[in-house]
């Protein structure tokens, strides 16, 4: 293999992030407890820097590097920008929360940044090995983050569950990969696609391989019936970590699905014999179970966990359509969802303060009287999650439904809207609690200026993107290419 230093240019974002993570790791050793803000500052500046580098190295063509194990294409560029931006938001919202609870440690940022590195590697993977490498890097960091509060038995329990189930999922994924490798003889997605196209493989082994692959994927996405870890992890982890887990990794999971199923196995898409059928089952179950069980929750973190599950169902709807429009819609949905989720947990964090966790729905009582502005932002976020226009959540759903109807799966669109109605109930219940109930807790909110500004932008983005969805949509459309 010829090595040429220009080959490193497309990988610059990863390199810069790795450097950044190492710098934070080292610097953090030498600063005193009250200077911890430096680690935070370096991380945030570094994320922005990486974001800029990602934009700089982006171009409309596709580059495959390092013996075909790494790919840089418009999709990876956009998804990386999304991941970095959302992580920036997550770190920002988390800062005050961590400080109030004595969790303001450099490890949070080191682990978080390594997780982001894992996500970026997943987004840019062009072979099974690379994607697995990225996935494990991400997963190991997240396991540790869930247990970040050592004194919380709940956190430890959640981390344990997450670890065991995550390891099982990785095992499934690896098993599937090994079967596919065994019968096709390649680990690269582009070569795999050619082999599948020629039909040069053992069908039975291939089908088993795909089944295990989809199961592993469904675990990582948190789709029903592989969703059991989601509510426990969301609930058990410190809210700041839940915020992180609930937002950026969804984008990476979407990339995982796109790389595995679309880049590698697009020809096995068709009908009930292919992965479309499996995804239909996962999507319908996720929308049904997610929305129905969310109604029964009194803990807002658990409620949002089940809401995630239902949103994953919708994202799967877009992917299973198997068309360019479908992938575009799913991507639009994923990015919008990550933004909504970050904002939603951001409000939850804003309501918490030293010695008080806003976890239950009742903690939102009368928020409109305590702080009308945050109530307004949460209102926008909730309506957006419910998919009510003019918020962007509506367009996300609309584009997915469009894609599903275009491939003659109108019944699936009907199922989708039916469960959205059920879903609307628990979102508007949050609004009901904020606006119609009397506050039980009159203490004013203490929220830092930076969080206030960014949270407002985050909420208003729901409205702005809802009024002007064309820009983001064409970005996604260009990223998917042909």
Partner 1 sequence: MIADWPILSLTVWLPIIGGFMVLASGDREANATKWTALTIAVLTFIVSLPLWFAFDSATAQMQFVERVPWVPAFNIEYYMGIDGISMPLIILTTFITPLVVIAGWEVIKFRPSQYMAAFLIMEGVMVGVFSSLDAMLFYVYWEAMLIPMFLIIGVWGGENRVYATIKFFLYTFFGSVFMLVALIYMYFQSGTFDILGFHTLKLGLTEQILIFIAFLMAFAVKVPMWPVHTWLPDAHVEAPTGGSVILAAIMLKIGGYGFLRFSLPITPDASHTLDWLIIGISLIAVVYIGFVALIQQDMKKLIAYSSIAHMGFVTLGFFIVFIISQNNAGSGAALGVQGGMVQMVSHGFISAALFLCVGVLYDRLHSRQINDYGGVVNTMPIFAAFMVFFAMANAGLPGTSGFVGEFMVILASFRADFWYAFLAATTLIIGAAYTLWMVKRVIFGDVTNEGVATLKDMNNREFIVLGTLAAAVLLLGLWPAPLVEVMDASVNNLLQHISVSKL
Which residues does 118 contact at the CB level (< 8 Å), separation at least 6? 134, 135, 136, 137, 138, 139, 141, 252
Q: Which of 65, 429, 452, 460 binds partner 1 (CB under 8 A)?
A: 429
Nearer to partner 1, 49 or 405 (CB): 405
CB of 395 to partner 1, least distance (A): 8
Nearer to partner 1, 166 or 469 (CB): 469
CB of 421 to partner 1, least distance (A): 5
- Total interface residues for partner 1 by CB under 8 A: 36
Stretch that binds partner 1, among 106-114, 256-264, 272-280, 382-390 (CB under 8 A): 382-390
Q: Is 436 in the site for partner 1 (CB under 8 A)?
A: yes
Nearer to partner 1, 225 or 372 (CB): 372
Nearer to partner 1, 210 or 433 (CB): 433
Q: Is 413 in the site for partner 1 (CB under 8 A)?
A: yes
237-24-155 Cα angle (round to 5):
10
Contacts with partner 1, 276-315, as mask; x by CB under 8 A: ----------------------------------------
Nearer to partner 1, 87 or 307 (CB): 307
Decide: helix, strand or coil at residue 151: coil
| Contact (CB, 8 A) for 110 and 20 | no
| Contact (CB, 8 A) for 367 and 447 | no
Distance from C-alpha of 95 to C-alpha of 351, rounded to nearest angstrom: 14
Distance from C-alpha of 164 to C-alpha of 228, rounded to nearest angstrom: 12
CB of 281 to partner 1, least distance (A): 21
Nearest alpha carbon to residue 75 among 201, 254, 285? 254
Cα–Cα separations (whole angstroms), residue 324 to 10, 164, 272, 412: 25, 36, 20, 18
Cα–Cα separations (whole angstroms), residue 364 to 292, 414, 441, 445: 21, 33, 9, 12
Distance from C-alpha of 347 to C-alpha of 358, rounded to nearest angstrom: 10
CB of 315 to partner 1, least distance (A): 18
Which residues of this protein are in contact with partner 1, per CB under 8 A?
328, 368, 372, 379, 383, 388-390, 394-395, 398-399, 401-402, 405-406, 410, 413-414, 417-418, 420-421, 424-425, 428-429, 431-432, 435-436, 469-470, 473-474, 477
């Amino acid at each position: 293999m010829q090595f040429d230093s220009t080959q490193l240019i497309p990988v610059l974002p990863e390199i810069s992030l790795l450097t950044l993570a190492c710098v934070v790791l080292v610097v953090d050793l030498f600063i005193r407890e009250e200077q911890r803000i430096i680690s935070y500052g370096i991380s945030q500046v570094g994320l922005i820097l990486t974001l800029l580098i990602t934009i700089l190295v982006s171009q409309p063509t596709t580059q495959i590097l390092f013996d075909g194990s790494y790919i840089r294409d418009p999709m990876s560029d956009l998804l990386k920008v999304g991941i970095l931006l959302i992580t920036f938001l997550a770190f920002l919202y988390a800062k005050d929360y961590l400080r109030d609870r004595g969790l303001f440690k450099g490890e949070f940022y080191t682990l978080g940044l390594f997780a982001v590195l894992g996500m970026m590697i997943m987004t840019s993977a062009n072979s099974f090995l690379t994607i697995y490498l990225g996935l494990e890097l991400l997963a190991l960091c997240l396991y540790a983050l869930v247990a970040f509060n050592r004194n919380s038995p709940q956190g430890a329990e959640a981390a344990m569950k997450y670890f065991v189930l995550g390891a099982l999922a990785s095992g499934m994924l690896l098993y599937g990969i090994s079967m596919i490798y065994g019968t096709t003889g390649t680990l690269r997605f582009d070569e795999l696609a050619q082999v599948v196209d020629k039909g040069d493989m053992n069908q039975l082994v291939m089908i088993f391989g795909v089944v295990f692959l989809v199961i592993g994927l469904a675990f990582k996405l948190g789709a029903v019936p592989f969703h059991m870890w989601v509510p426990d992890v969301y609930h058990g982890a410190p809210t700041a970590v839940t915020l992180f887990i609930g937002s950026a990794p969804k984008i990476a999971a979407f990339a995982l699905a796109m790389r595995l199923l679309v880049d590698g196995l697009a020809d096995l898409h068709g009908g009930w014999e292919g992965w479309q059928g499996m995804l239909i089952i996962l999507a319908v179950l996720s929308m049904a179970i997610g929305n129905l069980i969310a109604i029964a929750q009194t803990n807002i973190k658990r409620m949002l966990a089940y809401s995630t599950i239902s949103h994953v169902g919708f994202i799967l709807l877009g992917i299973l359509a198997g068309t360019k429009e479908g992938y575009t819609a799913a991507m639009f949905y994923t990015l919008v969802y990550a933004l909504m989720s970050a904002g939603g947990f951001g409000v939850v964090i804003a309501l918490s303060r030293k010695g008080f966790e806003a976890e239950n729905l009742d903690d939102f009582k009368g928020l409109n009287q305590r702080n009308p502005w945050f109530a307004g932002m949460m209102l926008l976020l909730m309506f957006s999650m419910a998919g009510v226009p003019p918020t962007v959540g509506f367009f996300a759903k609309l584009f997915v439904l469009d894609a599903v109807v275009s491939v003659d799966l109108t019944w699936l669109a009907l199922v989708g809207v039916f469960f959205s109605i059920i879903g609307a109930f628990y979102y508007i219940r949050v609004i009901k609690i904020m606006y119609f109930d009397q506050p039980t807790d009159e203490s004013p909110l203490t929220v830092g200026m930076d969080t206030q500004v960014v949270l407002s932008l985050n909420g208003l983005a729901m409205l702005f993107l809802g009024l002007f969805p064309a820009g983001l949509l064409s970005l996604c459309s260009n990223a998917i290419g042909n």
